[in-house]
């Protein structure tokens, strides 16, 4: 049984990252194309790690592990448009030795709700096998 080390209720840390919608990210509907929200979630995760005191890049190099995505979902509320300034709030909803579930809220700078979402990641090694994230990183991800 997967032992959950950390759950949403206990999460204190919420990270904030900022993006401005690029022309490249719009489509002919005149709004941001729906797949780009998952890219912004990644920007949010990156900032979350940074706020926990490590860079995702260094973690990959140091541990030889990757956070492969097992599940992703997004609920779209108000379309993001070109040049909109977005705030991506990222937190951890669940953390075990082998998986982490991030939650996201995207808001426009004027407070309009843009989207919410989740991604579930499994820690894998370079051979693609599920692995345990070393304790120092688990501790940092807990945001303590």
Residues annotated catalytic, as ranges: 27
- Identified binder of its own copies from the candidate list 43, 63, 139, 142, rule CB under 8 A: 43
Task: Please work out, in degrees rounded to the nearest 5, the angle formed at the alpha carbon of residue 51 by the alpha carbons of 49 and 54.
Answer: 50
Residue 33 makes contact with its own copies by CB under 8 A: yes
Give the nearer residue to its own copies in terms of CB position, either 117 or 143: 117
Nearer to its own copies, 76 or 132 (CB): 76
For the bound state, the minimum distance from the C-beta of residue 41 to its own copies, rounded and expressed in Å, comes to 9
Does the protein bind its own copies through residue 127 (CB under 8 A)?
A: no
Task: Name residues whose C-beta falls within 8 Å of residue 44's C-beta, 6 or more positions apart in sequence.
Answer: 15, 17, 88, 89, 90, 102, 104
Q: Which residue from 7, 55, 109, 125 is in contact with its own copies, where contact means CB under 8 A?
A: 55
Please name the residue that has the structure tokens 């779209």: 76
Instruction: Pick one of 13, 54, 76, 98: the residue that binds its own copies (CB under 8 A).
Output: 76
Answer for the pair 43, 129: CB distance below 8 angstroms, yes or no. no
| 92-121 residues near its own copies, rule: CB under 8 A | 119
Rounded-to-integer distance, Cα 103 and Cα 95, Å: 12
| Cα–Cα dist 77/68, whole Å | 27
Closest to its own copies by CB, 10 or 70: 70
């Amino acid at each position: 049984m997967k032992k959950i080390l950390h759950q949403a209720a206990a999460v204190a840390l919420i990270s904030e990252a900022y993006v401005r919608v690029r022309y490249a990210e719009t489509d002919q509907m005149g709004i941001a194309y729906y797949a780009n929200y998952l890219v912004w979630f990644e920007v949010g995760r990156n900032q979350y790690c940074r706020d926990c005191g490590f860079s995702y890049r260094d973690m990959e190099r140091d541990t030889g592990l990757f956070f492969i995505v097992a599940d992703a979902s997004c609920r779209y509320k108000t379309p993001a448009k070109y040049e909109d300034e977005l705030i991506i709030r990222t937190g951890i909803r669940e953390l075990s030795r082998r998986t982490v579930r991030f939650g996201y809220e995207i808001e426009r700078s004027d407070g309009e709700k843009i989207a919410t979402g989740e991604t579930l990641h499994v820690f894998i090694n370079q051979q693609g096998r599920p692995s345990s994230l070393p304790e120092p990183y688990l501790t940092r991800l807990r945001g303590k």
